[in-house]
């Protein structure tokens, strides 16, 4: 049985698609996309911190900048 990739409910005859994912409703597509955006932002800021290497203070201030500037 195919299930919604966001809320895990079984899909009915109407399937909403986003990339290779399947959702039961447009609301689930939106919710998934928001979650994806958050995950992507998190990964980017983590990469940014990792790229800063051992310069701890620089990494921290850069992390604060990225969180403050995130468009929510």
Among 1, 2, 3, 7, contact with Zn ion (rule: CB under 5 A): 7
Alpha helices in 1-72 (DSSP H): 26-51, 56-69
For CA atoms 44, 45, 49, 52, give the dihedral sign: positive
CB of 25 to Zn ion, least distance (A): 6
3-class DSSP assignment, residue 12: coil
**Which CB atom, from 13 or from 68, has the smaller least distance to Zn ion?**
13
Judged by CB under 5 A, does residue 29 bind Zn ion?
Answer: no
Note the residues at the interface with Zn ion (CB under 5 A).
Answer: 4, 6-7, 24, 28
């Amino acid at each position: 049985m195919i299930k919604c990739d966001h809320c895990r409910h079984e899909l009915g005859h109407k399937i909403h698609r986003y990339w290779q994912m399947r959702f039961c409703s447009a609301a689930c597509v939106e919710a998934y996309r928001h979650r994806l955006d958050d995950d992507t932002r998190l990964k980017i800021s983590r990469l940014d911190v990792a790229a800063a290497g051992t310069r701890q203070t620089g990494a921290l201030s850069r992390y604060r900048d990225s969180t403050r500037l995130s468009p929510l």
